[in-house]
Amino acid sequence: MGDVELITLYNDIILLTAWDIEDKSLFIDIDSSGLKVSYTDPDDYKAAIVRTNNPIPSECEIFYFEIKIINKGKNGHCKKSNNALTLEYQEKLYFIMGGYKNMLVNLTNELTKSLEQEPSNVFELSYQGKIYFIMGKYDEAFEDLTILLEIEPDNTIALKYRGEINYMMKKYNESITDLEKLLRIKPNDIWAEKAYKLVKEL
């Protein structure tokens, strides 16, 4: 009965099968299969995020997947978390990942404790906001970035990330407001110009 019980135990695990067409950065296009990703910003050195349709289950001690890079452009590259074992061979990236979620959770716990002692620490608010963004915890990221903007209203990092979070949460008017302010501060920011145009056309 041991094998039957083991199979039954893992029947309910939901694995990732494609990229999430909703949970992605601006200038990321996903084809109808959900498997091919294209970066459309003309400045291909800018960072972007795309996530899978389901998270890696906590029951998986080790999770393996691979990505084939069809065209990485002039400056493009893929970056993985530091605890992922990555092998690159013939334009393929092979990822073996495990435990990264716990690492990020522990880090945010430490930052939260530190911010309780020094709630106006701009660096830690920005850092934690970025981590929450990476984890897909947009409400928490939004809260940290909003506090940061109350302290430093012209903080361009916070305006950029919050503008993108508002876009991902379909708060398009709020996204436009953040991007407009970002462009007033950095009028030649190509990413902000393209992002603003994209959101305005929605």
Query: 115-155, pLDDT tens digit by residue?
Result: 999 999 988 898 889 888 877 788 999 999 999 999 999 99
**DSSP secondary structure, the chain, as one string:** -HHHHHHHHHTTPPPP-SEEEEEE-TTEEE-TTS--EEE--S-TTS---EEESSPPPTT-SSEEEEEE-S--TTT------TTSEEEEETTEEEEEE-SHHHHHHHHHHHHHHHHHH-TT-HHHHHHHHHHHHHHT-HHHHHHHHHHHHHH-TT-HHHHHHHHHHHHHTT-HHHHHHHHHHHHHH-TT-HHHHHHHHHHHT-
Burial call 13-28: b when 16+ CB within 10 Å, e when fewer: eeeeeebeeeebbbbb
Query: How large is the average pLDDT for residues 160-173?
Result: 90
Q: Residue 41: pLDDT above 70?
A: yes
* pLDDT tens digits, 182-192: 999 999 888 88
**Roughly how many angstroms between the first and final C-alpha of the chain, as a whole number?**
56
Its CATH architecture, for the domain 101-200, is: Alpha Horseshoe (1.25)
What's the CATH number of domain 2-97, 2.60.120.920, 2.60.40.740, 1.10.3720.10, 3.40.50.720? Answer: 2.60.120.920
Taking a C-beta distance cutoff of 8 angstroms, is the pair 192, 186 a contact?
A: yes
Looking at the predicted structure, is the pLDDT value of residue 176 above 90? yes
What residue spans define the domains of the chain?
A: 2-97, 101-200
In this prediction the pTM is 0.56
Provide the pLDDT confidence category of residue 90 given band limits of 50, 70 and 90: very low
- The mean pLDDT value for 59-83 works out to 57
Tell me the average pLDDT across 151-172.
Answer: 91
Range picked from 53-67, 69-83, 91-105, 137-151 for highest mean pLDDT: 137-151
What pLDDT does 155 receive? Answer: 93
